[in-house]
């Protein structure tokens, strides 16, 4: 099943992935704590991106990802920390 993403993601070891995941999730929870549970998704995205940027972690919002299988194709948008 081909998956196409327009950005190149680095290969990470399990340890590197765990460390990155821990750091990213800490910022996600911080953004959610600051904004509360009722903020609009775009506000969460902007605040989360700001948190990541202030920590030196590059991110992109709404990256288009295309998944294909035989005649089926689906375009989705994902945030990419």
The tokens of 49 are what?
A: 């991106």
The tokens of 25 are what?
A: 């999730």
How much is the average pLDDT of 57-61?
Answer: 90
What whole-number percentage of the chain has pLDDT above 90?
A: 64
- 12 φ/ψ angles, rounded to the nearest 5 degrees: -120, 145
Residue 8 is given by DSSP the state: P
- Does 12 score more than 90 pLDDT? yes
How much is the average pLDDT of 43-53?
Answer: 94
* Single pTM value for the model: 0.74
Neighbours of 23 (CB within 10 A): 15
How much is the average pLDDT of 46-51?
Answer: 94
| Alpha helices per DSSP H over the chain | 14-35, 41-54
- Does 80 score more than 70 pLDDT? no
Q: Measured between alpha carbons, how far is 52 from 73 in angstroms, rounded to an integer?
A: 31
How much is the average pLDDT of 21-31?
Answer: 95
């Amino acid at each position: 099943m081909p998956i196409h993403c327009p950005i190149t993601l680095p290969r990470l070891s399990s340890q590197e992935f765990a460390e990155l995941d821990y750091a990213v999730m800490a910022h996600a929870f911080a953004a959610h704590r600051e904004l509360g549970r009722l903020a609009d998704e775009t506000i969460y995205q902007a605040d989360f991106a700001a948190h990541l940027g202030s920590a030196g972690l590059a991110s992109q919002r709404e990256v288009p990802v295309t998944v294909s299988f035989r005649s089926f194709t689906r375009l989705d948008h994902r945030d990419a920390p």
